[in-house]
Amino acid sequence: MGRFVIGIAGGTGSGKTTVTRRVIEVVGADRVALLQMDNYYKNQDHLTFEERTRINYDHPDAFDMPLLMEHLDALIDGQEVESPLYSFVEHTRSRDTKPVKPAPVVVLEGIFALYDPDLRRRMHLKVFVDADPDVRFIRRLRRDVDERGRSPESVIEQYLNFVRPMHIAFVEPSKRYADVIIPHGGHNDPALDMLTSRIHRILGTE
C-alpha cells in the first residue's frame, strides 16, 4: 500500500504532540517518519531579533510550505530528508538539521497540518486534536515561559493579538477536513484507543 500518511492538526496546546507520541508507540518508532511543522517556519536570519519578534507566527504564511511539501514527497518516495530545526528563543532556524529516514508510516504534526489542500491530498488519515481554549492557553503559557524563555506578559499579548484570532480564522475551520476528531485534548484515553485501533486495522497490524 506504499507509505501511509497521517496528518495530526489542532490548536496550540491542544495535545497534538501527545497524540503523535501515542501513534508512534502503537506503530513503532522504527516504522514512523515524523515531520513537525514547527521546524518549518521560514528562515528569519536576515532580520534583526526585534523584527523577528513582531512577525505573526500563527499565520499560514509564516511557514515554508514549499520545503515542507518537498520533504513530505521525498519521504513518500522513500528518500531520507534533512529536516530543519527551529529556535523559538532566537525566532529563526538553527544551523543544525535533523535527518528523517523514510518509513512505512509518515506523520505530519502541526497547527496547519490540515489547512493546505495539497497536504491533505497526500494524507490517508486526517486527525484533529480539539481542546477548550482556556486549557490550550494555560498549556501554551506554561510551555513558552518554561521552555522558550518568554515572559507571561509577552505570551498573553501574543495570544490575544495573534494566536487566538489566527486559530479562529485558520486552525478551527480545518477541523471539518478531519477523519477523526479527538475531543478534550491529547489525554482522552478512550478516543486515543479508538484512533490507535483504527490505525491497526488500516495497517493490518491487529
| CATH number of the CATH domain containing 100 | 3.40.50.300
Place of cell 538553527: 94
- The kind and range of the H/E element at 14 are none
Calpha distance 104→45 (Å, rounded): 35
Give the DSSP letter string of 74-96. HHHTT--EEEEEEETTTTEEEEE
Count of domains observed in the chain: 1
The dihedral region occupied by 2, where left means phi > 0, alpha psi between -120 and 50, and beta the remainder, is left
Range of the domain at 25: 4-203
Evaluate if residue 149 carries a pLDDT over 90. no
Angle between helices 189-203 and 16-27 (to 10 degrees): 40
Measuring CA to CA, which residue among 47, 91, 41, 92 is closest to residue 67?
41
pLDDT at 185: 73
Decide: helix, strand or coil at residue 179. coil
Q: pLDDT band at residue 206, thresholds of 50, 70 and 90?
A: low
Evaluate if residue 31 carries a pLDDT over 70. yes
pLDDT at 169: 96
- The kind and range of the H/E element at 154 are helix 152-158
Q: pLDDT band at residue 67, thresholds of 50, 70 and 90?
A: very high
Mean pLDDT, residues 27-42 = 94
- The kind and range of the H/E element at 21 are helix 16-27
What rounded mean pLDDT belongs to the chain? Answer: 91
Q: What does the pLDDT look like over 7-25, one tens digit per residue?
A: 999 999 898 998 999 889 8
Measuring CA to CA, which residue among 116, 126, 102 is closest to residue 40?
116
Decide the pairing of beta strands 180-182 and 125-129.
parallel
pLDDT at 138: 92
Q: Is 19:129 a contact under the CB 8 Å cutoff?
A: yes
Evaluate if residue 89 carries a pLDDT over 70. yes
